[in-house]
Amino acid sequence: MANALKGTAFELAGQKNLYTGKVRDVYNIKGDYLVMVVSDRISAFDVVLPRGIPYKGQVLNQIAAKFLDATSDIVPNWKISSPDPNVTVGLMADPFKVEMVIRGYVTGHAWREYRDGKRILCGIPMIEGLKEHDRFPEPIITPTTKADEGHDEDISREEIIASGLVSEEDYVQLEGYTRALFQRGTEMAADMGLILVDTKYEFGKKDGKIVLIDEIHTPDSSRYFYAEGYEERQSAGEQQKQLSKEFVRQWLIANGFQGKEGQTVPDMPDAFVEEVSERYIELYESITGEKFVKADTSRIEERILKNINEFISK
């Protein structure tokens, strides 16, 4: 099995600090730039699982880079360059403390809430008579708080503005960008025979202007269905064929873990780790229409550090 990048602890030229997230190691360079290393860590239910998934970081980084480039006409973004398959270097921005989640279908968290009888999600009403994976009449925006630790929480537009997390003027702009990005992502997915089901976007401010930050339209931040057979599966009451992290969540649930207190993360066997890796590569090829080229993982940390240092020195 290929090596997985579990994490980094580099000392880079001009480095001010290092922030380690669930999946990414983010280096602050002189307070002006960020070097984001996308590891092979995988999280579910807001818990980082013990084993890394080979090539997952490369998949996420390269899909995000493609979509950042493809949407820069809609909203400026933080990306400057990707000097390594697992690395993006970009502008530093002050992040908003909310994530803009947009959902086109009653799936995942939206379905679990709906199934339990709730008809309002983040202040947005959901019509009666829907079944799992049905399409909403129009996409709904269901923001969450961006927690530094623990679980993100659902929050309404009204609560965001009232609490001062985001000004009303900025929030209106965030909603507009979110809908436009989701429309572009939906169109690009359709071209590849996929349905963009739901996704999240993160934004920040740089020099007083809103910019798109972090990753977009990756299997960690988004859910995709195969378009072919969608209607037939819905009519027959069958589960949709999807490309996302949901199958990892379902495996964890089946093995007694949902991130709740007192539960223990089950061990992922080698065969399942390989299956997860293959599913990430499948999504890359499905969404980009390009053959995935596996980077050399024999000395993955050395490779990444060398490529970062060469970029910084320029």
264 belongs to a structural domain: no
Flag whether 149 is in a domain.
yes
Average pLDDT on 64-73 reads 97
54 part of a folded domain: no
Mean confidence (pLDDT) of the chain = 95
**What's the mean pLDDT in 133-157?**
90
Per-residue pLDDT tens for 198-209? 999 999 999 999
**165-208, pLDDT tens digit by residue?**
999 999 999 999 999 999 999 999 999 999 999 999 999 999 99
Residue 111: inside a domain, yes or no?
yes
Beta strands 94-95 and 87-91, pairing class: unpaired
Mean pLDDT of the region 35-55: 94
Domain that holds residue 189: 95-243
Query: Do the domain assignments include residue 266?
Result: no
Q: What is the CA radius of gyration of the chain?
A: 19
- Number of domains within the chain: 1
Alpha-carbon distance of 210 to 70, in angstroms, equals 17
Q: Is 215 a member of any domain? A: yes
Indicate which CATH number applies to the domain containing 207: 3.30.470.20
Q: Convert the pLDDT of each residue in 16-29 to its tens digit.
A: 999 999 999 999 99
Domain for residue 31, yes or no?
no
Residue 158 lies in a domain: yes
Residue 148 has pLDDT above 70, yes or no: no
How much is the pTM? 0.90
Quote the Cα angle for 276-98-200, to 5°: 35
Compute the distance between CA of residue 75 and CA of residue 256 in angstroms, rounded to an integer. 42
